């Protein structure tokens, strides 16, 4: 194996492996260094296996609703070990797919931990070590850091793998906890809360902010809270969780908010209070790479303050999304190759939460559009007025659009309900292509589909909704 490459990618997650594949397509000789599993946290312990779990829980919920469809099912039960095994099997299958793609693209995969080790001429040296073996040094003029992030640990709320779970333990339970406390109501916390509630656990969600899903439009956040509480979740906002008191097989704590002080005892706790970037032991000392609040500072093309060193994905800061990481990997590599990619616009990155109901959004919320100085027009359309949603029995949902009143620019779109994570891309294309309400109004949406709510929400912003 040669020790010299055109590009070295550190980290094989959705940012790193996609960057390596694109670089190979553009004719570069590429090495990818990964010290754990190809596909990263997303594929192995995040995006993919959690969706497999959520799918099982959705079906479990539907089994109790089949009577409304003229069907009957008796003796509903589940095997948690098989649900978990299916999830883990899907993760392994997808990981094998990534390995195959990298091999097919002639990317050199090095198993080990990478560390920047100075320069040799114009090339950056990268030291790769594995299990105490002698280090191997590879070099390239360009190095992309795609080392990802990990769950944040708060004093008194640290995960222990037994009673207080992080994401990995929450994905691989041996038994279903009867009582569960989820600390944090971002996408990760809400998805786990949704899974366990659908499977029958008593779920309490504690959020320090004044509302859940704080990244979403407040109206959507309020809709989601109402839906979750209707399902039986207990949600506490403005909540401060006291230290966790552990016994042999349960956890007690005190939660304080505006409603007072609540004593709570549960079987398990899931801590989902944010993430920190994996910036330790990367050899950044003595370089021009700047780290702020555990994340590497980059420009619009993922360049750091050190020439030839780039950072993408979670380690480079919010939003912490796999599709953001992949896109950054592509544009970073294309910039290195001398092409002319457009820098990534943060407001054009969609966010998705795969709870029941699903939540999806892109761009400004109504609140932030006003704060940015826009005069706006807002449209809303409920799922209950959509024929396909009614036929599917999925009437709990709505679409909200925010347009600039003067130009017709789509400033933001916010959706909650069945399959909205599959539909949000229509609004993302609208923003990326800089289309206006005129093009959306003239677009023919197929009937009957839930996506017609997107058309109606646009019409509603301009006083033209037809079905409400």
Close Cβ partners of 379 (under 8 Å, ≥ 6 residues apart) = 400, 401, 403, 456, 457, 458, 459, 460, 461, 462, 465
In CATH, the architecture of 164-273 is: 3-Layer(bba) Sandwich (3.50)
| 8 A C-beta contact, residue 151 and residue 166 | yes
Distance CA 244, CA 314 (A): 29
Residue whose structure tokens are 């004593």: 263
What would the pLDDT profile of 353-399 be if each residue is shown by its tens digit?
A: 999 999 999 999 999 999 999 999 999 999 999 999 999 999 999 99
Ligand-binding site membership of 242 (annotated): no
What would the pLDDT profile of 420-433 be if each residue is shown by its tens digit?
A: 999 999 999 999 99
DSSP assignment letter at 454: H
**CB count in 10 Å sphere of residue 274:** 16
Ligand-binding site membership of 57 (annotated): no
To the query of whether residue 142 is one of the catalytic residues in this protein, the response is no
Residue 133 confidence (pLDDT): 78
Ligand-binding site membership of 156 (annotated): no
* Mean pLDDT within 159-184: 96
User: Three-state SS across 215-273?
Assistant: CCCHHHHHHHHHHHHHCCCEEECCCEECCCEECCCCEEEEEEECCEEEEEEECEEEECC
> Residue 453 is encoded by which pair of tokens?
């709510």
The one catalytic residue in 374, 447, 455, 467 is: 447
- CATH fold of the domain at 7-150+276-346: FAD/NAD(P)-binding domain (3.50.50)
Residue whose structure tokens are 């978990």: 84
Q: Please check whether the two domains, 7-150+276-346 and 164-273, share a CATH topology.
A: yes
What would the pLDDT profile of 307-347 be if each residue is shown by its tens digit?
A: 999 999 999 999 999 999 999 999 999 999 999 999 999 99
Q: Which residues are paired to 163 by β-bridges?
A: none
Higher pLDDT, 135 or 143: 143
Domain boundaries, the chain: 7-150+276-346, 164-273, 357-462
What would the pLDDT profile of 71-80 be if each residue is shown by its tens digit?
A: 999 999 999 9
Residue 1 confidence (pLDDT): 63
Q: Which residues are paired to 362 by β-bridges?
A: 413
Q: Which residues are paired to 276 by β-bridges?
A: 150
Predicted model pTM: 0.95
Does residue 187 have a pLDDT over 80?
yes
- Cβ-count burial of 256 within 10 angstroms (0-12 exposed, 13-18 middle, 19+ buried)? middle
- DSSP string over 387-440: HHHHHHT----EEEEEEETTT-BEEEEEEEETTHHHHTHHHHHHHHTT-BHHHH
Close Cβ partners of 263 (under 8 Å, ≥ 6 residues apart) = 252, 253, 254
Of 464, 453, 463, 459, which Cα lies nearest the Cα of 385? 453
> Residue 129 is encoded by which pair of tokens?
């070590």
* Axis-axis angle for helices 47-63, 80-104 (nearest 10): 140
Distance CA 139, CA 124 (A): 5
| 8 A C-beta contact, residue 307 and residue 141 | no
Ligand-binding site membership of 82 (annotated): no
| 8 A C-beta contact, residue 415 and residue 400 | yes
Residue percentage of the chain with pLDDT more than 70: 100
Does residue 132 have a pLDDT over 80?
no
pLDDT level of residue 263 (50, 70, 90 thresholds): very high
What would the pLDDT profile of 287-296 be if each residue is shown by its tens digit?
A: 999 999 999 9
What would the pLDDT profile of 39-70 be if each residue is shown by its tens digit?
A: 999 999 999 999 999 999 999 999 999 999 99
Give the alpha-carbon dihedral of 361, 366, 367, 368, to 10 degrees: 60
Ligand-binding site membership of 207 (annotated): yes
Does residue 134 have a pLDDT over 90?
no
Q: Does domain 357-462 have CATH number 3.30.390.30?
A: yes
Residue whose structure tokens are 């194996």: 1
**CA separation, residue 156 to residues 70, 185, 232, 375 (Å):** 50, 18, 28, 45
Determine the length of the chain.
468
Mean pLDDT across the chain, nearest whole number? Answer: 96
Residue 86 confidence (pLDDT): 98
> Residue 46 is encoded by which pair of tokens?
């995040």
Distance CA 272, CA 172 (A): 16
Distance CA 169, CA 84 (A): 11
Ligand-binding site membership of 314 (annotated): yes
Residue 102 confidence (pLDDT): 98
Ligand-binding site membership of 212 (annotated): no
């Amino acid at each position: 194996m040669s020790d010299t490459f055109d590009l070295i990618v550190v980290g094989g997650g959705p940012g790193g492996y996609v960057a390596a594949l694109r670089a190979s397509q553009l004719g570069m000789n590429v090495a990818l260094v990964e010290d754990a599993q190809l596909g990263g946290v997303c594929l192995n312990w995040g995006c993919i296996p959690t969706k497999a779990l959520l799918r099982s829980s959705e079906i479990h919920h539907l089994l109790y609703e089949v009577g409304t469809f003229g069907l009957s099912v008796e003796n509903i039960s589940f095997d948690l070990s098989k649900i978990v095994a299916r999830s883990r099997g899907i993760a392994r299958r997808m990981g094998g797919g990534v390995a195959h793609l990298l091999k097919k693209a002639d990317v050199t995969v090095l198993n080990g931990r990478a560390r920047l080790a100075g320069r040799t001429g114009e090339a950056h040296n990268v030291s790769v070590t594995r299990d105490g073996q002698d280090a191997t040094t590879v070099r390239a003029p360009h190095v992309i850091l795609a080392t990802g992030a990990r769950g944040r640990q708060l004093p008194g709320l640290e995960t222990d793998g037994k009673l207080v779970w992080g994401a990995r333990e929450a994905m691989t339970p041996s038994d279903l906890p009867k009582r569960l406390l989820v600390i944090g109501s971002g996408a990760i916390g809400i998805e786990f809360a949704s899974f366990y509630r659908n499977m029958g656990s008593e779920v309490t969600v504690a959020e320090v902010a004044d509302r859940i899903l704080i990244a979403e439009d407040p109206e959507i956040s309020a809709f989601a809270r109402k839906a979750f509480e209707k399902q039986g979740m207990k949600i506490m906002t403005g909540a401060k969780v006291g230290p966790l008191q552990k016994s042999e097989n349960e956890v007690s704590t005190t939660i304080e908010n505006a409603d007072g002080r609540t004593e709570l005892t549960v079987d398990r706790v899931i801590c989902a209070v944010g993430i920190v970037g994996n910036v330790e032991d990367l050899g950044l000392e003595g370089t021009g790479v700047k780290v702020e609040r555990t994340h590497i500072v980059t420009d619009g093309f993922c360049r750091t303050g050190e020439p030839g060193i780039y950072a993408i994905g979670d380690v480079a800061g919010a939003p912490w999304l796999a599709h953001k990481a992949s896109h950054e990997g592509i544009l970073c590599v294309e910039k290195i190759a001398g092409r002319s990619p457009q820098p990534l616009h943060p407001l054009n990155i969609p966010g998705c939460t795969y709870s029941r109901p699903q939540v999806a959004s892109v761009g400004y919320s109504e609140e932030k559009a006003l704060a940015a100085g826009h005069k706006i027009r807002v449209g809303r359309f409920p799922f209950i007025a959509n024929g396909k949603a009614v036929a599917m029995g999925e009437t709990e949902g709505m679409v909200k659009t925010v347009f600039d009143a003067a130009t017709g620019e789509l400033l933001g779109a916010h959706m909650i309900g069945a399959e909205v994570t599959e539909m949000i891309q229509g609004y993302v294309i609208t923003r990326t292509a800089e289309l206006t309400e005129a093009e959306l109004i003239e677009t023919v949406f197929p009937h009957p589909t839930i996506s017609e709510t997107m058309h109606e929400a646009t019409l509603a912003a301009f006083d033209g909704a037809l079905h409400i």
